[in-house]
Amino acid sequence: MSSDTLVVIPARIGSTRFPGKVLADLGGRPVVEWCRRAAVRAGVGPVVVATEDKKVARTLRALGADVVLTSSKCASGTDRVWEAARRRMNRSIRFVLNLQGDEPFVRPATLRRVVDVLRKKPRCDIATAVVPLERRAQIQDPNVVKAAMAPDGRCLYFSRAPIPYPRGIHKNGAVGYFKHIGVYGFRKQALRRFVRFPPSPLERRESLEQLRALEKGMSIHAAVVRDETISIDTPEDLERARRFIRRRRRNILK
């Protein structure tokens, strides 16, 4: 296993839209346990769950997880990641991978791709992943975060609105829509910088942390992947995820 990357999965119990979602049952496992298993299978480095809740900690430890109890005063998931990372990092750690605890179907290969972006692009502060969007309902859905990117994968903006506006045509064809997946790879120094910045105006407006990084001039690059992801933001998302499992049980319950 590579030792230059630490994976931290923030698992806050008090989600505003869906309290307790990280422990919701999905195919016989808590939602966050799906994320943890994907991270372990990725093999990019040690995996730790960061939570403020003792019930989450007990549940995950019983499943074999390394858990760090963090402060209940963490302002964001990234602050929680940094608090846990400081306790687990050593000198060999170059990158910290923040995998959201509500992305149960993220593939191990996607996590490896995100880390590869950091390794191959030394000027990239933060790496992430996006999936092409085709269904109009998802493009219009404010719970689906969209990314606008330059041809080289550099992220220009993230929004809950459908961006880019569907008016012009790119010289190489129609500009596509991309869904942002909740995984961020930080250079260790970039994560340290990021958590020191106060929430930015655009971040507050869209409720998207990554806009803070862009407003502060940090570079974000995305790998385009083909994951069929379902972020668990609402009880309705959980039901969709359960139907997805029933359809594809043989392939994903591994």
DSSP for 72-84 reads TT-SSHHHHHHHH
Please tell me the predicted confidence (pLDDT) of residue 169: 46
**For 123-139, what is each residue's pLDDT tens digit?**
999 999 999 998 888 89
Please tell me the predicted confidence (pLDDT) of residue 248: 74
pLDDT (tens digit, 0 to 9) for every residue of the chain, 254 residues total?
457 999 999 998 877 778 899 999 999 999 999 999 999 999 999 999 999 999 999 999 999 999 999 988 877 889 999 999 999 988 899 999 999 999 999 999 999 999 999 999 999 999 999 999 988 888 999 989 999 999 999 999 999 999 988 765 444 445 689 999 989 999 999 999 999 999 999 999 999 999 999 999 999 999 999 887 888 989 999 999 999 998 876 555 44
Please tell me the predicted confidence (pLDDT) of residue 22: 94
Please tell me the predicted confidence (pLDDT) of residue 35: 96
Please tell me the predicted confidence (pLDDT) of residue 175: 62
- The CATH number linked to 176 is 3.90.550.10
**Whole-prediction pTM:** 0.90
How, if at all, do strands 146-149 and 177-187 pair?
antiparallel
Q: Which domain, by its residues, includes 36?
A: 5-252
In a 10 Å sphere around its CB, with 0-12 CB exposed, 13-18 middle and 19+ buried, how is residue 224 labelled? middle
- Per DSSP, helices labelled H in 95-173 are 108-120, 136-140
**Burial letters for 235-245: b for 16+ Cβ neighbours within 10 Å, e otherwise?**
eebbeebeebb
Q: How far apart are CA 66 and CA 49, in angstroms?
A: 6
**For 187-226, what is each residue's pLDDT tens digit?**
999 999 999 999 999 999 999 999 999 999 999 999 999 8
**What total of structural domains would you count in the chain?**
1
Please tell me the predicted confidence (pLDDT) of residue 172: 44
Which residues have C-beta within 8 Å of that of residue 44, sequence separation ≥ 6?
A: 1, 2, 5, 7, 97, 111, 112, 115
Q: How far apart are CA 187 and CA 98, in angstroms?
A: 11
Residue 58 in contact with residue 152, Cβ under 8 Å?
Answer: no
Provide the residue type at 223 as one letter. A
Residue 139 in contact with residue 108, Cβ under 8 Å?
Answer: no
